Amino acid sequence: GQQVMQIPQYQHVQEGEDFTTYCNSSTTLSNIQWYKQRPGGHPVFLIQLVKSGEVKKQKRLTFQFGEAKKNSSLHITATQTTDVGTYFCAGRETSGSRLTFGEGTQLTVNP
């Protein structure tokens, strides 16, 4: 079955440093979504990418979908303590199929 892998599993940064998490799928994806889960919280939808090579920005967050639609990345510029949490990618193999979540990258930001 489809597998979605994320690296790194953990990332500790100093406030102000950049952060990137990578997501790789074993199969070509129809679309990919990113979620953020704060400590003690629940996943909150951030964005969905659909097109090959698509890049979307949300303030300091940049999301990219690979040309082959098998990988994606989330980059945060100049991290802040409010960025702390676990970032999950979730891919859909075909339109209408289930979302398969990656294991997540847990980000810690030291002030």
Partner 1 sequence: ETGVTQTPRHLVMGMTNKKSLKCEQHLGHNAMYWYKQSAKKPLELMFVYNFKEQTENNSVPSRFSPECPNSSHLFLHLHTLQPEDSALYLCASSQVTGSDEQYFGPGTRLTVT
Question: CB of 43: closest distance to partner 1 in angstroms?
Answer: 5
Q: Which of 66, 85, 91, 102 binds partner 1 (CB under 8 A)?
A: 102
Of 18 and 97, nearer to partner 1 (C-beta) is 97
CB 103 within 8 A of CB 7: no
Report the C-alpha gap between 85 and 82 in whole angstroms: 8
Quote the tokens at residue 9.
């599993």
Question: CB of 31: closest distance to partner 1 in angstroms?
Answer: 7
Q: Which of 56, 75, 77, 99 binds partner 1 (CB under 8 A)?
A: 99
Report the C-alpha gap between 6 and 107 in whole angstroms: 13
Sheet harboring 71-76: ordered strands across?
A: 4-7, 19-25, 71-76, 61-65, 55-58
Least Cα distance to 31 among 76, 57, 7, 63 occurs for 63
User: If you count them, how many residues does the chain have?
Assistant: 111
Q: Per-residue x/- mask for partner 1, residues 24 to 63, rule CB under 8 A?
A: -------x-x-x-----xxxxx--x---------------
Of 94 and 110, nearer to partner 1 (C-beta) is 94
Interface residues toward partner 1, by CB under 8 A? 4, 31, 33, 35, 41-45, 48, 88, 90, 92, 95-104
